[in-house]
Amino acid sequence: MLAEIRQFFADRAVLEVETPLLSNSIGTDPQLEFFTAEYRLLPTRQTLFLQTSPEFAMKRLLAAGSGCIYQIGKAFRNGESGRFHNPEFTMLEWYRVGFSLPQLMDEIAGLIGHLFREQPLQETQRVSYQDAFFSHTGLDPLVFSYPDYCAYARQSELPEAVTICGHDHALWLDFLFSHKVQPHLGNNALCMVYGYPACQSSLARINEHNALVSDRVEVFINGVELGNGYHELTDADEQNKRFDKELAIRQQQKLPVSVKDQRLVAALASGLPQCSGMAIGLDRLLMLLSGSHSINEVLSFPIHRA
């Protein structure tokens, strides 16, 4: 699988790169937990972070003029273990300079189709988030109605959603999407869901024609989420504001302190080219390619045996 992926990008003149696993900063997303490590260069000590994604460093390369790039490497997320999760996992991430989101989606379909060519999938599906969410819940994901969401949760025997999500629109969307929409996506097919609500646009550009949605896509096969992509946000001031908002949420929820990546903000300010990028979890992809039930079946040493 790794050889096929590398050949796919070599044929398209996309450069393979490496970026650090240890960094001085980390993402601010309140839904991600991270690992820290203590760096001792006596007499000083410094906390470093194991990266949850190579995204920030790769964007710094893009801003420095690298052109189109991809990376296959390890990523780390704390507190994640289960059928589809391991705290250490392998990620494919790539960025295409000058690509729109539809062009990126074409390339995603090309890569997945190539990898599944010996066990062909059905025709690729493309559906907007709003259409997918409404068809399975009857709710409009772009306009938050707390009473309607609560009524649906109780009717669907998910009363815990009211307590968990409160008045947080983004939390409601994540909860209901994972329980009521995602299981139905991509029945023996690649399903690409695009146009995520703007409140879920941490690193994506807001759509220029509809401020209620972001230029974001997620891909699924047989209800399994494989990856997440964006038409990347290039506005340094806007990105800085989004980081600060997430940091405030982390503080409010008493989550571990995150360190904002000032180098990424500086790179955006220096000029990030218009580009689209995608990240895919390769352990999950190999699980589907091999017909395995769990990613533990495709990992040499899952966390309980590491």
Average pLDDT over residues 258-277: 96
Ordered by where they begin, the domains of the chain are 2-121+237-305 (3.30.930.10)
Q: In degrees rounded to 5, what are phi and psi of residue 254?
A: 55, 40
At 106-141, the pLDDT tens digits run 999 999 999 999 999 999 999 999 999 999 999 999
Looking at residue 295, what DSSP letter applies? G
Q: How many helices (H) and strands (E) does the chain have?
A: 10, 11
Residues 6 or more apart whose Cβ sits within 8 Å of residue 304: none
> What's the distance, Cα to Cα, between the start and end of the chain in Å?
23
- Return mean pLDDT, the chain: 96
For residues 77 and 191, is the Cβ–Cβ distance under 8 A? no
Q: How far is CA 93 from the centre of its chain?
A: 10
Per-residue pLDDT, 202: 84
201: pLDDT confidence band, cut at 50, 70 and 90?
A: confident
The band of 81, judged by pLDDT with boundaries at 50, 70 and 90, is confident
Q: Is the pLDDT of residue 216 over 90?
A: yes
**Per-residue CA distances from 301 to 57, 190, 297 (Å):** 27, 28, 9
Phi-psi region of 9 (alpha: psi -120 to 50; beta: other; left: phi over 0): alpha
